[in-house]
Amino acid sequence: MNRTDVLRHIMSLRNGDPMIIGPGLANYAIAEADEPLTIYNMDMPYATPMALGMALGWSTRRVISIEGDGSLLAGPGVLSTIARYQPKNLLIFVFDNGTDIEQLGRAAGLKNTRTVHDLDAAKSAVSAAFTEPGPWLVVAKIDKQDRPTERRPHSLPMYVYEAGLIFHRAALQERSAKK
């Protein structure tokens, strides 16, 4: 399955939700939309822990974490913390090319977990995650068909620091508008 197709479906449902993306190719597909509540290229393994903190502190918004299996495996303890606090507004999407991340999530105590192997199953799981209370862990088994054939430097629309500043301003603006 191609990660870009899954990301397009996630983006079609996102509706401006805060999103933190770990290192990897997912950043480039999401950068096409370049929404202000996005932190790009967060270091391993911080995307999901940061999203957890955000979900706990901003319970009125759905919060999305996107990362690869290697990034999540660099800090799997976060799954037990998520299971402990059960934030209903947290969605975790992991692109996996070789491990059993769902089993880790279940062992940690997460109930809403799915591993998907094709685009139809991915769309179904992603749609469920966006409509049913979480926390959700959706693991998409991907292949390498969306990787560039030759390695060359890629650039994101901004560095993680700049994305953090833009995110901060957008979050403050949204919160002050609700008062």
Render pLDDT for 69-128 as a digit per residue (tens, 0 to 9). Answer: 999 999 999 999 999 999 999 999 999 988 899 999 999 999 999 999 999 999 999 999
Q: What is the mean pLDDT of the chain?
A: 91
Alpha helices in the chain (DSSP H): 3-14, 26-31, 47-57, 69-73, 78-85, 101-108, 119-131, 160-177
What's the pLDDT score for residue 126? Answer: 98
Contact 56, 85 (CB under 8 A): yes
Give the Å distances, CA to CA, from 146 to 4, 40, 65, 135, 143: 7, 19, 20, 28, 8
Q: Which residues pair with 96 in a beta bridge?
A: 141
**DSSP tag of 43:** P
What's the pLDDT score for residue 31? Answer: 83
pTM of the model: 0.90
Q: What is the rounded average pLDDT of the residues 153-176? A: 82
What's the pLDDT score for residue 154? Answer: 61
What's the pLDDT score for residue 91? Answer: 98
Contact 139, 91 (CB under 8 A): no
Q: Which fold has domain 3-145+159-177?
A: Rossmann fold (3.40.50)
